Structure formats: structure tokens, C-alpha cells
């Protein structure tokens, strides 16, 4: 489910984190999707989607845009991120104008996404609400780690690897941006928000310096 | 996945890449605990092994172990439904499928996420709890439907119960007045589970882009609250030629 409605962490931080999806429906509009997929990519690039990908190839932070385009088949899934509400508005306006007939989904903080829909002149059809996490929550990693790992909806990012990257960033071996890109490579859908991740690293480092 | 012992140089670089924590040292080489491995393929895709010792074993696509891959590797296509990810489109194509239509509410119980994964026994605990409460309408286009042996009891096919996956989604659409019963059944089973799940509620939006008030009331009446973020279907999908 790409799990994007269950992203966690500080809400102000999540206001810089939007996920977009293009979805074909099996048995309905899932044949010869490539021309439409290329139109989605063109719009996403035009409005500055910072990361996107096709799960069948991987994210653009790891593979070239041409490689991803070449790999598109009817089994592809295109997804990506935006970091600003204005991008969501532009994206929706242009996709609506193109009238491609594919399902479009945006995940994000409701207080931002609903006004973006109104501004773009789009009337959403349905909503998928999160009622939170249940069960053996004591087995979960800490909240800071979850704020990062939940940005890969399929949960391919091991908490142990987040700890490893954090240590490298803290020691100055890599920059927060480099660490965030290492983590983005796990997320083949291309919905890992590396900009937000780098910000989280910077905030935690600043807080640790203050504590010292 | 497996690590070829005669190729592995014992550098251990692959170990932090495993979401299941299944790779460890044994006899100075890395080895994959086959019980823990989700067959998600993350270690292989990382291309971290300097000597290409990580391989996909021949039994990956053999039933029932194949379920590990179908539910855990987002690049794979589920053999039952022909759909990627967890093998279901759920609300993402609701504007086209009307899977959750007027007067209905969709429920998704996403077991194993965040991050922990789960044994399929946890799915059975939930399907049994739902069945005990008279809830049998598991979405037919969701692969979990095909894993159920007896919809009256919620029992899964017994050969599946030793398998582990990163996550799976129990999904259903019901009339809205039944939402309280379902939420109650789900809450009752929580203490029995060994892993975690995330809970979703899907509805069509009403004029003014609002959620039906009776759905919100049912959620509140069960002592639950919704988080400030959500996934929204923009209504731009169409049935095309």
C-alpha cells in the first residue's frame, strides 16, 4: 500500500513531504501505459519532483531518468515526492488538463493537501485515513528512526542501517545530504524524501550540539 | 536469499542492509537465516557484496515460500493477483473500481508495518477474530482472500503458517453501519498479535471534501482518532478504451 499515509514524525516536517502516484487499474486501463507514464514524468519533472521512480527499475536518485523511462512496462508503477504545496497544485492542474484517465493519488498532511486540491480545481474522490499503529509497539525503533524508515512505504530501510548512516553523519564522514541519498537508494518506488531526511539529520545534530 | 559460503570473503558489509536482520556471521562468513529472511531482495539490489556471493536460491518461487517474496519484494508481481507491492490496488484506484462505494467504508489492516514484518499466524489471528464477529468479506481482489481455507472460521491454509513476510494487507469494504463492529473486533485481537499493524479507513468524500460524519463518529466512539496525514484519490481516473 506504499504506506504513505502512515509516515511519522513532526507534523511541521511532514508539511514538506508530499507523495504522488500514478496508478493504472488492472483490467481497465492497464494496457500500453507508457505514453501516459511519460506524460506524468514530464509534468513531475517540470514542477520539480525531487525524487521519483518506477518500482520495476528504481528511483531517479539511483538510476538515470532515461533508464527509468526505457524500463517502463504495463506493470510499472510511477511514484514520487514533492516538498512544497505549490508543486502539488501545479502538478494537479497540469495532470487534470492532460486528462490522461489514470488514477492520481496524493499523500500528505490534510491541512495542506485539501487546500491544494481546491486551488488546483480538483475534486478528490476518496480518502484513506490512518488510524495509527497498533500491536507490539514496544518492538519498534525510536521515533526519530521511524520518521526516516516510514518514508519508504514498503519498509525496505533497516533501522540498523539508519543508525549506521547517523553515526557516519555525526562523525563528519559524510554530509547529511549524502547520508539521505544512501537511504533513498533502498526505496525503489522513489517516494523517499531525501530532502526531509537530510533536514532531520541536521536538526538532530544541532540538538545534540546544544545539549553538549 | 543465500550467501555462497565458498565465495563470501567475510567482510560483513551486507549485514546492515537486511530489513529482517537475518544476515549474520557463521564460520567467518555471512549467512542468511532462512527462517527470518523475507526474500525481499534488498541485499541483492544493494549490490553491496564485493564478490557477488549473494544469490536468489531456487526455492524462492516454490509455494508456500514464494509468498515471502510476493508480499515482501516490491519489485515482484504477485502470482495470484498480478499486482505489485502487496498484491492489491486498494484505495488507489477507487475512482475507477468503486471498491469502496457510496454508503460503504473500506478497512485495511496492514500487518507487519512499520518495519517489523510478521509471521502469517498473525494474519490468521485477525481473520479468525473477524470471522468470530460475523465478518467474512475479505476483498476478493486481495491475495489474502486466496490464502483463507475456510471463510466461516477465518482459518488460513495450514501450509502457510510457518511463513514470514514483511507485510500484508487484510482489506474489506462493508456497509458503514458495521464499522463499529469491525473496529471492536480488531481491537479485541490486538493483545494476541506478535507484531504491529497500521489501521486504515477509506471512504468516498462528500461535497465540501468532508468525510461522512457517521464514519467519524464511529471512529471516535471506539476511542480511536485519525492522524493528520492521509492518502487522497484525486478522482482523475477513468475507464478508457
CATH number of the domain encompassing residue B25: 3.30.70.20
**Is residue B197 domain-resident?**
yes
Chain B CB contacts of A144 under 8 Å are: none
**Of all residues in chain A, what percent carry a pLDDT higher than 70?**
98
| Inter-chain residue contact A129 with B77, CB threshold 8 Å | no
Residue A2's pLDDT band (cuts 50, 70, 90): low
B169 and B131, same structural domain?
yes
Note whether B173 and B71 are within 8 A (CB). Answer: no
B227 inside domain? no
- B48 falls within a domain: yes
CB contacts, 8 Å: A131 with chain B: 198-201, 219, 224-227
Average pLDDT, chain A: 95
| Count helices and strands in chain A by DSSP H and E runs | 9, 6
The three cell numbers locating residue A146: 521511524
- What is the least distance, in Å, from the CA of B101 to any CA of chain A? 9
Residue range A34-56: average pLDDT? 97
A92 → chain B, closest CA residue: B234
| Closest to A128 in 3D by CA, of A108, A143, A112 | A108
Above pLDDT 90, what percent of chain A?
91
Which of 79-138 (B) contact A at CB < 8 A? 81-86, 88-97, 100, 106, 108, 110, 112-116
Q: Which residues of A touch B235 (CB under 8 A)?
A: 122-126
In this structure, are B23 and B140 located in the same domain? no
Separation in Å, CA of A168 to nearest CA in chain B: 14
- Of A158, A182, A180, A154, nearest to A3 by C-alpha is A154
Which chain A positions have a beta carbon within 8 Å of B184's beta carbon? Answer: none
| Per-residue confidence (pLDDT) for residue A1, from 0 to 100 | 40
Domain that holds residue B114: 78-221
Calpha distance B155→B137 (Å, rounded): 14
- CB A128 to CB B226 under 8 A? no
The reply to whether B48 touches chain A by the CB within 8 Å rule is no
Domain tally, chain B: 2
Q: List the single residue in A with minimal CA-CA distance to B71.
A: A154
| Whether residues B193 and B102 fall in one domain | yes
DSSP per residue over B73-113, as a string? -TTSB-TTT--BTTT--GGGGHHHH-SS-TTEEEEEEEETT
**Which of A11, A134, A156 comes nearest B196 by C-beta?**
A134
In this complex, do A96 and B169 lie within 8 Å of one another by their Cβ atoms?
no
Asked if the structure places residue B210 within a domain, the reply is: yes
Q: Is the ipTM of this complex over 0.90?
A: yes
Asked if B46 and B84 sit in the same domain, the reply is no
Of A117, A137, A142, which Cα lies nearest the Cα of A127?
A117
What's the CA gap between A109 and A93, in Å, rounded? Answer: 19
Same domain (yes/no): B7, B95: no
pLDDT tens digits, one per residue of B96-120: 988 899 999 999 999 999 999 999 9
Which has the closest alpha carbon to B39: B69, B64, B9? B69
Beta bridge partners of B138: B172
**Same structural domain for residues B131 and B27?**
no
- Comparing alpha-carbon positions, the chain B residue that sits nearest to A111 is B228
Question: DSSP per residue over A38-94, as a string?
Answer: HHHHHHHHHTT-SEEEETTTEETTTS-HHHHHHT--TT--EEEEESSHHHHHHHHHH
**pLDDT tens for chain B, residues 1 to 241:** 999 999 999 999 999 999 999 999 999 999 999 999 999 999 999 999 999 999 999 899 999 999 999 999 998 877 665 655 565 666 789 999 888 999 999 999 999 999 999 999 999 999 999 999 999 988 888 889 999 999 999 999 999 999 999 999 999 999 999 999 999 999 999 999 999 999 999 999 998 888 899 999 999 999 999 999 999 999 999 876 5
Amino acid at each position: 500500500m506504499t504506506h504513505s499515509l502512515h509516515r511519522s514524525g513532526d507534523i511541521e516536517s511532514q508539511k514538506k513531504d508530499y507523495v504522488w502516484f500514478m496508478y493504472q487499474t488492472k483490467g481497465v486501463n492497464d494496457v500500453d501505459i507508457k505514453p501516459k507514464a511519460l506524460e506524468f514524468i514530464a509534468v513531475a519533472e517540470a514542477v520539480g519532483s525531487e525524487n521519483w521512480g518506477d518500482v520495476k527499475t528504481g528511483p531517479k536518485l539511483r538510476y538515470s531518468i532515461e533508464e527509468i523511462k526505457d524500463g517502463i512496462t504495463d506493470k510499472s508503477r510511477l511514484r514520487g515526492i514533492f516538498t512544497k504545496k505549490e508543486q502539488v497544485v501545479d502538478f494537479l492542474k497540469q495532470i487534470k488538463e492532460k486528462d490522461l484517465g489514470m488514477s492520481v493519488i496524493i499523500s500528505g498532511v490534510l491541512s495542506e493537501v485539501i487546500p491544494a486540491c481546491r486551488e488546483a480545481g480538483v475534486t478528490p474522490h476518496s480518502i484513506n485515513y490512518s488510524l495509527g499503529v497498533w500491536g507490539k509497539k514496544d518492538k519498534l525503533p525510536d521515533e526519530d528512526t521511524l520518521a526516516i524508515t516510514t518514508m519508504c512505504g514498503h519498509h525496505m530501510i533497516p533501522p540498523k542501517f539508519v543508525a549506521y548512516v547517523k553515526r557516519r553523519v555525526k562523525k563528519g564522514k559524510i554530509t547529511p545530504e549524502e547520508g539521505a541519498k544512501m537511504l533513498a537508494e533502498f526505496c525503489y518506488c522513489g517516494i523517499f524524501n531525501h530532502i526531509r531526511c537530510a533536514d532531520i539529520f541536521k536538526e538532530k545534530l544541532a540538538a545534540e550540539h546544544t545539549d553538549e | 536469499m543465500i550467501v555462497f559460503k565458498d565465495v563470501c570473503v567475510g567482510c560483513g558489509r551486507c549485514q546492515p542492509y537486511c530489513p529482517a536482520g537475518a544476515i549474520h556471521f557463521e564460520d567467518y562468513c555471512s549467512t542468511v537465516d532462512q527462517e527470518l529472511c523475507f526474500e525481499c531482495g534488498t541485499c541483492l539490489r544493494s549490490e553491496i557484496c564485493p564478490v557477488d556471493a549473494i544469490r536468489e536460491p531456487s526455492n524462492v518461487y516454490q509455494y508456500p515460500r514464494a509468498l515471502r517474496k510476493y508480499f515482501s519484494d516490491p519489485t515482484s508481481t504477485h502470482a495470484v493477483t498480478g499486482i505489485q507491492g502487496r498484491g492489491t490496488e486498494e484505495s488507489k484506484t477507487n475512482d475507477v473500481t468503486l471498491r469502496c462505494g457510496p454508503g460503504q467504508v473500506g478497512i485495511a489492516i496492514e500487518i507487519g508495518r512499520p518495519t517489523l514484518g510478521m509471521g502469517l499466524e498473525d494474519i490468521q489471528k485477525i481473520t479468525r477474530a473477524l470471522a468470530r464477529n460475523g465478518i467474512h468479506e475479505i476483498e476478493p481482489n486481495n491475495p489474502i482472500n486466496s490464502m483463507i481455507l475456510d471463510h466461516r472460521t477465518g482459518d488460513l491454509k495450514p501450509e502457510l503458517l510457518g511463513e514470514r513476510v514483511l507485510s500484508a494487507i487484510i482489506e474489506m469494504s462493508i456497509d458503514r453501519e458495521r464499522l463499529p463492529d469491525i473496529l471492536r473486533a480488531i481491537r479485541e485481537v490486538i493483545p494476541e498479535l506478535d507484531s504491529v499493524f497500521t489501521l486504515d479507513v477509506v471512504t468516498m468524500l462528500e461535497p465540501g471534501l468532508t468525510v461522512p460524519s457517521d464514519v467519524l463518529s464511529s471512529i471516535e466512539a471506539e476511542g480511536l482518532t485519525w492522524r493528520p496525514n492521509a492518502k487522497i484519490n484525486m478522482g482523475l481516473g477513468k475507464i478508457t478504451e
